[in-house]
Amino acid sequence: DTEVTQTPKHLVMGMTNKKSLKCEQHMGHRAMYWYKQKAKKPPELMFVYSYEKLSINESVPSRFSPECPNSSLLNLHLHALQPEDSALYLCASSQRQGAEETQYFGPGTRLLVL
Amino acid sequence: KQEVTQIPAALSVPEGENLVLNCSFTDSAIYNLQWFRQDPGKGLTSLLLIQSSQREQTSGRLNASLDKSSGRSTLYIAASQPGDSATYLCAGLGIYNQGGKLIFGQGTELSVKP
């Protein structure tokens, strides 16, 4: 099973709302990622968690708050977002095995900020 | 700083044609290179991963090659089908980056006409 699941699939929120995106994997991977993808652009890395600790924050605004409750779950808490934050938010996971590290992506959450 | 470039940006071919998508990277200190497929509004599907010690990988009608010395990777698709229509992304993982930060190219949007 190489599946990464994300909920919800679609989310519409106002600029004063608080919402959360959820990501789950059961492949035993110890690295999990959040990416943001705008239309016609490649994914941009936001955060990396390694062994449930935040290892990379790509200078993401504090209105995005990641959380890794356990090795299978990754959340992204959203608060006071701006319309320009509307995008596809992708979660991924990976595990380095010898010389190989494949990232597996979820289907994404399509976010619209009004 | 690793930069990944993909050409062409868009490609339209008739069904049945063999085609090559190109990916170039600036830093030869690459750990591995991964090819993804993305359908509109969907997540990324991993197609092939080539480790830095390998020269090529094959899966069905797909063949990916890696030439570190020239900083190039190619994805060869044999006997293309309309179902192959999607955006294809290559992404490199730096050899010194233990955090798993993938550097993506801008993608090639492929259209296979029946």
**Nearest CB partner across the interface for B51, out of A41, A90, A99:** A99
The average confidence (pLDDT) of chain B is: 91
In chain A, residues with a C-beta closer than 8 Å to the C-beta of B89 are: 42
B49/B65 Cα distance (integer angstroms):
10
B107/B36 Cα distance (integer angstroms):
9
The more confidently predicted of residues A2 and B101 is B101
Q: What is the mean pLDDT of residues A74-102?
A: 90
In chain A, residues with a C-beta closer than 8 Å to the C-beta of B90 are: none
B109/B9 Cα distance (integer angstroms):
6
Q: Scanning the structure block, which residue is given the tokens 């900020």?
A: A113
CB crowding A4-34: b at 16 or more within 10 Å, else e: bebeeeebebeeeeebebbbbbeeebebbbb
Summarize pLDDT for B58-113 with one digit per residue, the tens: 999 999 999 988 999 999 999 999 999 999 999 988 765 556 688 899 999 999 99
Rounded to the nearest 5°, which phi and psi values hold at B5?
Answer: -125, 140
Q: What is the mean pLDDT of residues A7-29?
A: 94
A85/A113 Cα distance (integer angstroms):
7
